[in-house]
Amino acid sequence: MRVSGKTGWLQNAAYAWLMALLLLAFFAPCLPLQWAFGRLDVLRIAAPPSAIHYLGTDPYGRDVLADLLLGARTLLAVGLPAALLTSLIGILLGASAGFWGNQQLRIPSVYFVGVLPGILAVCVFGVSWPVVPAALLGLIASWALHYFRSSQYKIVFPVDSIVLAAMLWLGAIPRIILILVLCAAIDLTPPALVALLALTSWPATARLARAEVQRLRMLPFIEAAKVSGLPPIRIVWHHILPNAWPVLRAAIPLNLSACLTFQTTLAFLGLGLPDGATDWGRMLSLAKLEPTAWWLIVFPCVALATTFLALRVATPTHSRTSA
């Protein structure tokens, strides 16, 4: 496979920008900036770019360049874990649905009996003390079934229908509306924001993984592995996922772009991050306090647009390669 010169130049530039953004975000507090992070210049409030403040100041007198670097660190600290968690959840659920379908996954009934009381208690009482006796009841019932050798009975678990129903439910509601409703219902912390972004962004990756695994499981070498008696987990882990990875890896930059987009949107609306945290979305929201300060809009927008474009160009696709 060979990459064309023009496309290769764009990809190299995209990789260089993403690497520079990662390094600047990581070493931001160590950079020898004239104006340190959080330092206020009360003599220059909403000042335009100058030799003192290269990218100007915001309505509070903070240096825009320092805030951009610190905002990149905040953006990646939330967006990168959320994208990795989104990709992991999507690949696992999609691969499970594509490989086992609705009839192939059979789970011993003892496992259902063991966890069902705890799940029902959580649904009824939430995370509280009644969950403990319910979990103990489930363990006792599970032990009893195993003791009387009832664990040989297995229940067909329709994993494909469940995953498709979850994707359909998440796709029926606009994601931004769902995230805003959940933000209003719970008290968000950075780890909770990462979990929220991942739990609402995995369907696209799961759909891609499901289709690719369904294609691979019909190939002769997978059928040979099944006939030879290899465990299904080993087949998926050692044979299907390595062959599906060239396609699935394209989902990671796209997930990162989606998570950064929603994180920036929430920060612009004043949600998702603790007070005092710097984010490119919050920098854009400061333009409402000073509508004539064009630098508060231009520089964060340029940083966001360049990052999203770099992620799009860095996404591996077959259309960018030629034999």
What number of residues does the chain have?
A: 323
Can you give the three-state secondary structure of 248-285, one letter per residue? HCCHHHHHHHHHHHHHHHHHHCCCCCCCCCCCHHHHHH
Longest dimension (CA), the chain: 82
Q: Which residue segment(s) compose the domain that 112 sits in? A: 106-156
Answer yes or no: do 214 and 313 share one domain: yes
The domain boundary residue, chosen from 92, 121, 156: 156
Answer yes or no: do 110 and 228 share one domain: no
CB proximity list for 127: less than 8 A, separation 6 or greater: none
Give the 3-state secondary structure of residue 293.
coil
The whole model's pTM is what? 0.79
The domain boundary residue, chosen from 156, 174, 193: 156
The domain boundary residue, chosen from 156, 175, 192: 156
Q: What is the pLDDT of residue 320?
A: 39
Pair type for strands 2-3 and 106-108: unpaired
Start-to-end C-alpha separation, the chain: 5
Q: What is the pLDDT of residue 86?
A: 93
pLDDT in tens, the chain (323 residues): 444 555 678 888 888 888 888 888 787 777 766 666 667 766 778 778 888 888 888 888 888 888 888 888 888 888 889 999 999 999 999 999 988 888 777 766 666 666 777 677 666 666 566 667 777 777 777 666 666 655 566 677 788 898 999 999 888 888 888 888 887 777 777 888 888 888 888 999 999 999 999 999 888 888 888 888 888 888 888 889 899 998 888 888 889 888 888 888 888 888 777 777 788 888 888 888 888 888 888 998 999 999 888 888 877 664 433 33
Q: Per the structure block, which two tokens stand in for 10?
A: 């764009």
Q: Which amino acid is at 5?
A: G
Q: State how many domains the chain has.
A: 2
Alpha helices in the chain (DSSP H): 5-26, 64-100, 109-125, 131-147, 159-172, 175-185, 190-201, 203-216, 220-227, 232-235, 241-248, 251-268, 280-285, 295-314
CATH of the domain at 197: 1.10.3720.10
Answer yes or no: do 142 and 121 share one domain: yes
Answer yes or no: do 10 and 82 share one domain: yes
Answer yes or no: do 82 and 203 share one domain: yes
Answer yes or no: do 29 and 110 share one domain: no
Answer yes or no: do 229 and 309 share one domain: yes
DSSP secondary structure string for all residues of 157-191: --HHHHHHHHHHHHHHS-HHHHHHHHHHHS---HH
Q: What is the pLDDT of residue 319?
A: 41
Answer yes or no: do 311 and 243 share one domain: yes
- Please choose, from the candidates 73, 286, 39, 91, the residue with its C-alpha nearest in 3D space to the C-alpha of residue 208: 91
Distance CA 110, CA 7 (A): 55
Residue 146 CB-density burial (10 A; 0-12 exposed, 13-18 middle, 19+ buried): middle
Answer yes or no: do 11 and 116 share one domain: no
Answer yes or no: do 183 and 308 share one domain: yes
Distance CA 312, CA 15 (A): 11
